[in-house]
Amino acid sequence: MNGMADDDYYEVWLSILGRVSRSRFVDLILDRAGVTLDPELCRYLIHLDLRGPIGVLELAELAEHNHPKASRSLARLEQLGLVARAPDPHDRRVKTASLTAEGRGVVEAINRGRRRVLDEVFTGWSDRDRAELARLTGRFADGMVALMDTGPAAGGAASPSDA
């Protein structure tokens, strides 16, 4: 591997992670989307769009929140008419949440906001450069997911059972 190129990418990667995890990034997307909903609630809508209908425990895990916070957020989304809850067809003890038509509309607006942000960022980029970035970033993401799927000990670190 080329150490300098790897170091350069490492710096870019850390910069991207640090900047896009900031609330200003989410605010930018919501601004471009024309969505005024609390960003934390939007996060739940996105997860429900990708994985719904799902129960509150699974949703809490996806959002990296605890059960009470996820439950309160779902209740608020339900009050706003963006989420509907229903008994799970396989386990009546569990209630699942899913998007309503209005909730789906908010998610679609957020997705359009993301597209607007990308269009602004890529102004002046050639189609070839955009395609190459997508190809290489996909390759990087696939490698990272494969590494994470093999578990923490696969990267050479000692596992607790090795001690």
pLDDT digits (tens, 9 = 90+) for 78-102: 999 999 999 878 877 788 999 999 9
Report the greatest alpha carbon distance in the chain.
57
pLDDT digits (tens, 9 = 90+) for 38-70: 999 999 999 999 998 999 999 999 888 999 999
Q: Give the predicted TM-score (pTM) of the model.
A: 0.75
Amino acid letter for position 152: P
pLDDT at 159: 44
- What is the chain's alpha carbon radius of gyration, rounded to the nearest angstrom? 20
Banded model confidence at residue 4, pLDDT cuts 50, 70, 90: low
pLDDT digits (tens, 9 = 90+) for 100-157: 999 999 999 999 999 999 999 999 999 999 999 999 988 888 888 898 888 776 555 5
Contact (CB, 8 A) for 50 and 111: no
What residue ranges define each of the domains in the chain, with the CATH number in brackets?
Answer: 3-137 (1.10.10.10)
Contact (CB, 8 A) for 101 and 78: no
